[in-house]
Amino acid sequence: MKPTHAGAVVYRQGNKQLLFLLITPRGRYKQWLLPKGRVDRGEKLQETARREIAEETGQDIVVGKKVGKQRFRWRRKDALCVYFVGEATGAAKKDVRRSDRKRAREVSAAKKGRVVRAPESRKAVWVPLDQALQMVSYDPLRRILSKAAKKLGK
């Protein structure tokens, strides 16, 4: 099956450990997922991952190696998402949904591990690996997260 979606295990260095970014689906704040999105026509999977992470979280990333795949149902059809490792490099350049001041407050809160509202009416949080593994809502995503952490040496 050809991949229909791409996403990333987004990480950054915290004070003493790596932190991983989890998001909620739109309007469903009890589930925690890895960010992903649909591949646009003519777009490479790595481009999709970078664009979708910026759209869903406001973060820019450097896309690294592929770490796994997840099959799921999307709009009553079979879908396949390819996940990459993605190192967060800061706020995405074009985030027109929020003012610079509000974005700065949200980035500061996220760095402190608090849940914040992300673009696209989602919540996002940076958490250590052990907490991310507990929070993520689906076993296939847990396996992908674990594999990414191993590739990163954690």
pTM equals 0.80
Q: For the chain, give every domain's residue range.
A: 5-151
Asked if residues 91 and 60 have their Cβ atoms less than 8 Å apart, the reply is yes
- Domain 5-151, CATH class in plain words: alpha beta
Check residue 90 and give its pLDDT: 81
Measure the CA–CA gap between 71 and 90, rounded to whole angstroms: 30
Instruction: Report pLDDT digits (tens) over 54-110.
Output: 988 889 999 999 999 998 776 788 999 999 999 999 876 554 333 444 545 555 555
Tell the burial category of 98 from Cβ atoms under 10 Å away from its Cβ (0-12, 13-18, 19+). Answer: middle
Residue that has been written with the tokens 């973060």 in this structure = 59
In this prediction, residue 1 carries a pLDDT of 86
Query: What burial class does residue 1 get, using C-beta atoms within 10 Å of its C-beta: 0-12 exposed, 13-18 middle, 19+ buried?
Result: exposed
Report the pLDDT value the prediction gives residue 11, as an integer from 0 to 100: 97
pLDDT in tens, 128-141: 999 999 999 999 99
User: Quick one: pLDDT at residue 96?
Assistant: 33
